[in-house]
Amino acid sequence: MNAVEQAGRKRTLQGTQRTLPAATAALSFSDNDYLGLARHTRVAQAAIQAIRESGTGARAARHLAGPCPEHAELEKALAKWKGAESALVFSSGYQTPLGVIPSLVGSKDTVLLERNAHACLFDGARLSGARLRLFARNDDESLGEALAISKKLSPEAKILVVAESLHSMDGDFVDLKSLVNLKNRFGAWLLLDEAHANGVIGPAGAGWAAEQGLVESMDIQMGTLGKALGSSGGFVAARAAVIDCLLNEARPFLFATAPAPAAMAAAAQALQIIRSGEGAKLIEKLQENIRLFSCLHPNPSQGPIQFQRVSSNEQVVCFRDALRLSGIEVAAIRPPTVPEGAARLRISLSARHSEPEIRKLAEELVRIGAG
């Protein structure tokens, strides 16, 4: 048995082996389309019109393919939405930190990263070659100690603190005021990943930094187009000088084919909806759904990401399959997506869900013994 086969056997024994589903249940609580915009008629129409005008693909990296109005228009709108001087789009949310972090720090610098941060943030930090230190989320003492040690070891080096505003698995919001106070105290930079908060909270859905009134304290705001914005791609918003640096240094931007114009047009239309009266109603509906589920389920989270801890990897798959048989799709999360021993059902609430659908989910969770 070769190493690849051995690794597959090990995953099977540990209950972490994955396969792509041949079919899913009709009622989905497993995706991140928080406002239901991925199938919105005007969003789809914007994508179709972009295909007619600009074709199905961007054809090359942006430095080579020439100007594309869909990219420029979206970047302008994103910068305004996030209260930043400028913005830059990437082909995917995952690629964004792989370009951003190595462009801003190097081998003489330090990245301070939340211990359970998303894999793309770890990968971006490792690619940078910077010293990597971990701190516990929402723990001032842990972050303060990491900042103090980093500053003492390399007084002139850059320190980049990286945190998720709304955690992708635990569903909690970061204590942003404390983060800002500490990063200012030690002269560090802060990269805030708003992937799951954009479109969900804040004035005009502008995210957690906007909700907390701390946009001006953000050095870099990062996000995705593939969640509340109902499209695909990633983006970063910051000062014009930072965006100019990324445009020249970020390898996923320099060497990857640009995002498809249709995806950019779809995201721009979704953003226009989010910032409108219709968007305000969608965000309020999402918040109503969060409040409803919180009343029906023990240990609720603050945002649309809810979860139920499960005793084992095998058990969480059994629960997922039982829910699927009842017509409900919920994600079974296992290592390495979460740490060992932290398997869970991950429930994503959306504005598209009705009250009866949420009640059905809560009832089925109780019925199968997971609620």
Catalytic residue among 32, 301, 313, 348: 32
Decide if 32 is catalytic: yes
Sign of CA dihedral 19, 91, 105, 77: negative
Q: Which two tokens stand for residue 12?
A: 């099977």
Distance, in Å, from the CA atom of 330 to the CA atom of 371, rounded to the nearest integer, reads 13
Catalytic residue among 70, 75, 109, 164: 164
Cis peptide bond N-terminal to 336, omega within 30: yes
The rounded Cα 291 to chain-centroid distance in angstroms is: 22
Give the DSSP letter string of 128-188. HT-EEEEE-TT-HHHHHHHHHHHHHH-TTS-EEEEEESB-TTT-PBP-HHHHHHHHHHTT-
Nearest alpha carbon to residue 265 among 84, 31, 77:
77
Catalytic residue among 40, 71, 82, 118: 118
Q: Are 205 and 275 in contact (CB under 8 A)?
A: yes
Decide if 118 is catalytic: yes
Catalytic residue among 86, 138, 150, 168: 168
Decide if 217 is catalytic: no
Decide if 168 is catalytic: yes
Decide if 353 is catalytic: no
Q: Which two tokens stand for residue 194?
A: 């708003």
Catalytic residue among 109, 170, 193, 364: 193
Catalytic residue among 40, 167, 196, 297: 196
Catalytic residue among 71, 82, 183, 227: 227
Active-site residue list: 32, 118, 164, 168, 193, 196, 227
